[in-house]
Copies of this chain bind each other. A is one copy, B any other.
Amino acid sequence: MARPAYQAIKDYLVGQIRSGVWKEGDLVPSENDLVRTFGVARMTVNRALRDLSADQVLVRVQGAGTYVGPPVYQSTLVEIRSIADEIRDRGHQHSAVVLVLTKEPDGPGAGFRSVLVHQEDGVPIQVEDRWVNPALAPGYLDQDFTLTTPNEYLVRVAPLERVEYRIEARLPPDQIRHALTMDEGEPCLLLHRRTFSKGQAASVVDLWHPGNRFRFTGHF
């Protein structure tokens, strides 16, 4: 089985949303519709819809139908996840612009530094200002971060041992505000995170998000 049927159905649904055929609040085909379209059992369709509902891509109402969910940018705190993955899971296009990628001189703060802007369908959604320990990721500067996010690279080369984070609401510096194309006076949701690997600090990052189109969510 190359690609499971339920995954094909998910891809189809996400594709319809990504391409703009279905918009927020639209009623999507019912389970029985999709059963006929794809020629599978209802349980298979149900799994696809339930998965996307858990991802908040769709909203299901018993007795009424399944709708396209609101385009809420979200993230989870309990897992270090690539923002690129999250955006793609929501059926949108991720892209990144590298603003800074340098080696900071010796002294306190010595190490690699990168500043990126992550975009969802071309709309800036996160500014990532990162310091990286050269001892743990010596090849950091040679990566193409428009293809692989720093996070994806780091979890690969430096297995995560411990994470500390801090969340604040802050008015952004002008530079950040402009990079996120935010109006003056709009607050940012700032996630400051330090990761440790092999007993050393691996990376310290400030993630700035526009408060009016980003939130962290979770459950337990």
Contact = CB atoms under 8 A, between A and B. Distances in A.
Given A77-B77, A218-B78, A169 B166 contact: no
Interface stretch (A140-148, A150-158, A181-189): A181-189
Interface string A68-80: 0000111101110
The SS class assigned to the A binding surface is: strand
B219 A163 contact: yes
A24 to B, nearest CB: 15
Taking residues whose C-beta sits less than 8 angstroms from the other chain, chain A's interface range is 35 or more
Number of copies of this kind of chain in the complex = 2
Contact of A163 (B171, B186, B209, B220): B220
A43 B162 CA distance: 26
A10 to B, nearest CB: 12
Contacts of A185: 171, 185
Contacts of A209: 169
B78 A164 contact: no
The 10 A-B residue pairs with the shortest CB-CB distance in the complex, in nearest-first order = A187-B187, A169-B211, A169-B169, A169-B189, A169-B187, A167-B216, A164-B219, A168-B215, A166-B217, A72-B78
Interface of A: 43, 54-56, 72-75, 77-79, 162-171, 185-190, 209, 211, 214-220
